[in-house]
Structure 1
Amino acid sequence: MKEMDDNLDHEVRLWQEKLFARSVRRKCKLRHINDLIGTASNLSCLEVSAGDGMISSSLRSLGGSWKTAVSTKAAADSISYSLNETITLIDNCKLPFEDHAFDRLVVVDALKGIGDDSEFIHECHRVLKNDGWVIIHETRRVPVSFVAFLRRIFGLLPVAGGARRNGYKTSELFSILKDGFDVPETIVYSNGLLETAATIGEFIQKKITHDRYWMVGEKIGQHELYRFRKLHQFATATYPLLWIFSKMEFIPGHQMIVKSRRRHWRPRLQPKLIDGRSIAEAAINTKIGTAAPF
């Protein structure tokens, strides 16, 4: 029985590798993350993951020592197929690590699933060393777009899958980082044409596997391997078109990644006028000339 289970686990890992090799968006995501991390030799790193085991295992190739934390049991089960190590489960936005334990902290698509993201960023600040960096990859929220429309009618918005929010605008990420981190370096990528085609493909993939195609369930049987084969056939057929679309970076992007250096935690208070409005609100809502007494 154990030999059969070991063979099944091996098959699952093999098919996950094949699926990753045919995923334009996941490989592009990993490339951007790796570029911002650089070499991790002699560094202590923490990854906070949404459950993509292939991303988690690939980050280990950068060197250094790594730990992975997740916010859901489903994510822990999925990653356990790729990593032979203990996966930490985040409880109530708290990271169960000592202060100043890590040089790098990488959050991969997991922030939108955290209940109190501001409190969680404060925890990230706590466990990072004084000269540490945080790297966050997230969906860029573009509410008025064809991609958002498709995801809504297909039931593919992040909140439909259990997330607390559908992503972030760049300004929203800055807002929760600004008290303890420098102004982040921000990269926006994955254009609307690629995301449109990928969304349609993701809808078809969901019909095949009934879940996010990169997630591996707690209990796997031969029927799951059959689904992986079907997914791989579909991904192979659509790969050339998605690859071509991915090169059209002149179109606005729907994914973003930020890198920000830790600094002393100091709340940045927004200046306000006597009536309680911010300067930005006053500038937007006041018509030219209304302040003049004549």
Structure 2
Amino acid sequence: MTDSLDTEIRNWQGKLLGRSVRRTRKCKRILDALGQVSSFQCLEISEGDGSISMKLRALGGSWKTAVPTREASDSLKHSLSENIGFIHEGKLPYEDNTFDRLVIVDALKYIEDDYGFIHECHRVLRSDAWVVISETKRAPLSLTGLLQKLFGLGPATRGARRKGYRAAELFDRLKDGFDVPETIAYSNGLLESASTLGEVIQKSILPVPCWMIREAVTPDEIKRYQSLYNLGGLFYPLAQLLALFEFIPGHKFLVRSRRRHWRPRLQPKLIDGRSIAEAAINTKIGTAAPF
């Protein structure tokens, strides 16, 4: 691919991000959770969304990116002019105590042994580091889940090991090496369901998610991006309206937590079999101080 085509594709990817209410809100929440990082060494674990990777780098600081799939690596090569780390058998290609901040952007569900991977993340983080995790909130009975299953969409079609997490499940992965996290749910079911229907239409124009860039692309890809951008303009006002229904339970959530010494902890159970975390969780678990 020529440099000019690569640049044009990156520009169109930025435009498509701006037309997606769902992705824009996710990106803003991640950036807000990170805060000031200009003096930090930062690590991103990415699902392959190069536009979000570029937004993270705009915060300043020094960044590295690692991915769990080859498709994610191929996509990011068009956006990042740097070596992209590959997570092989749950291991990160970095030295101990290297990073001050870790951001996992919708990528944890692709890792087979996610608990072991969180331990690996703990290894590469410094003692006072923070982790920010963006993930899908698993809802067994939801219209969004039904639509994704009906139309063959969702992370499972791209090799994800699980559909998402309940808040208590993420707490269970983190509890041995990180303080009890703050968990913020967002992106209500109406917005997610409408966005899923939009993905059905998008799939007829572009066979991969619009934020993924195929390894071998041609100038014809630009025409597809233009069509998606115009289509997104038609649905944008409706998506903005649906996003206002914040009282409806969210389908995405953001976790932020501080690293501490790794010490396996057993969770006491209540008489009904639930853990204390499961009983206490609503939309937040504990508290988290600002960065």
Same fold (TM over 0.5): yes
Matched, 1:77 2:74: yes
Partner of 1:101: 98
Amino acid at match of 2:80: L
C-alpha deviation, 1:270, in angstroms? 3.0
Matched, 1:68 2:35: no
Residues of 2 paired with 1:241 and 1:213: CA distance?
A: 19
Q: For the aligned residues, what is the CA RMSD?
A: 1.4
Residues of 2 paired with 1:120 and 1:280: CA distance?
A: 31
Instruction: Tell me the alpha carbon deviations over residues 87-134 of structure 1, each in whole angstroms, 9 at most, x when there is no partner.
Output: 111111001111110000000000000111011000011111011111
Residues of 2 paired with 1:101 and 1:131: CA distance?
A: 11
SS of the aligned residue for 2:2 comes to helix
Partner of 1:198: 195
In structure 2, the CA distance between the partners of 1:280 and 1:174, relative to structure 1 (3 Å rule), is farther
* Count of aligned positions: 275
Residues of 2 paired with 1:58 and 1:207: CA distance?
A: 28
Q: 1:50 aligns with which of 37, 47, 50?
A: 47
1:128-147 equivalences under 5 Å are 128-147=125-144
Residues of 2 paired with 1:138 and 1:154: CA distance?
A: 21
Residues of 2 paired with 1:69 and 1:103: CA distance?
A: 15
Amino acid at match of 1:113: Y
In structure 2, the CA distance between the partners of 1:283 and 1:118, relative to structure 1 (3 Å rule), is closer
Partner of 1:153: 150
Query: Structure 2: which 5+ runs fail to align?
Result: 276-291
Matched, 1:222 2:222: no
Instruction: Tell me the alpha carbon deviations over residues 166-206 of structure 1, each in whole angstroms, 9 at most, x when there is no partner.
Output: 00000000011011111101110000111111010011111
Residues of 1 paired with 2:107 and 2:92: CA distance?
A: 14
Amino acid at match of 1:18: K
Query: Structure 1: which 5+ runs fail to align?
Result: 272-277, 285-294
Partner of 2:260: 263
Q: 1:249 aligns with which of 226, 246, 249?
A: 246
Residues of 1 paired with 2:86 and 2:180: CA distance?
A: 29
Partner of 2:280: none
In structure 2, the CA distance between the partners of 1:182 and 1:218, relative to structure 1 (3 Å rule), is same
Instruction: Tell me the alpha carbon deviations over residues 24-64 of structure 1, each in whole angstroms, 9 at most, x when there is no partner.
Output: 11110111001110010111100000000000010011111
Residues of 2 paired with 1:270 and 1:256: CA distance?
A: 23
Query: Kindly, what percent of the aligned residue pairs are identical?
Result: 56
C-alpha deviation, 1:17, in angstroms? 1.3
Partner of 2:83: 86
Misfit runs of 4+, over 2 Å: 278-284
1:165-244 equivalences under 5 Å are 165-244=162-241
In structure 2, the CA distance between the partners of 1:253 and 1:283, relative to structure 1 (3 Å rule), is closer
SS of the aligned residue for 2:180 comes to coil
SS of the aligned residue for 1:62 comes to coil
Residues of 1 paired with 2:207 and 2:104: CA distance?
A: 25
Partner of 1:34: 31
Partner of 2:13: 16
Matched, 1:6 2:15: no
Task: Tell me the TM-score normalised to structure 1 length.
Answer: 0.91
Residues of 1 paired with 2:235 and 2:274: CA distance?
A: 48
SS of the aligned residue for 1:183 comes to coil
SS of the aligned residue for 1:255 comes to strand
Residues of 2 paired with 1:14 and 1:203: CA distance?
A: 24
Amino acid at match of 2:175: K
Residues of 2 paired with 1:282 and 1:141: CA distance?
A: 20
Q: Who wins on radius of gyration, i.e. which is larger?
A: 1
Instruction: Tell me the alpha carbon deviations over residues 242-294 of structure 1, each in whole angstroms, 9 at most, x when there is no partner.
Output: 011112211110000100111111111134xxxxxx5444589xxxxxxxxxx
Amino acid at match of 2:107: A
SS of the aligned residue for 1:131 comes to strand
Task: Tell me the TM-score normalised to structure 2 length.
Answer: 0.91
Residues of 1 paired with 2:41 and 2:143: CA distance?
A: 41
Residues of 2 paired with 1:111 and 1:187: CA distance?
A: 17
Which one is further off, 171-180 or 226-235? 226-235
Residues of 2 paired with 1:186 and 1:151: CA distance?
A: 24
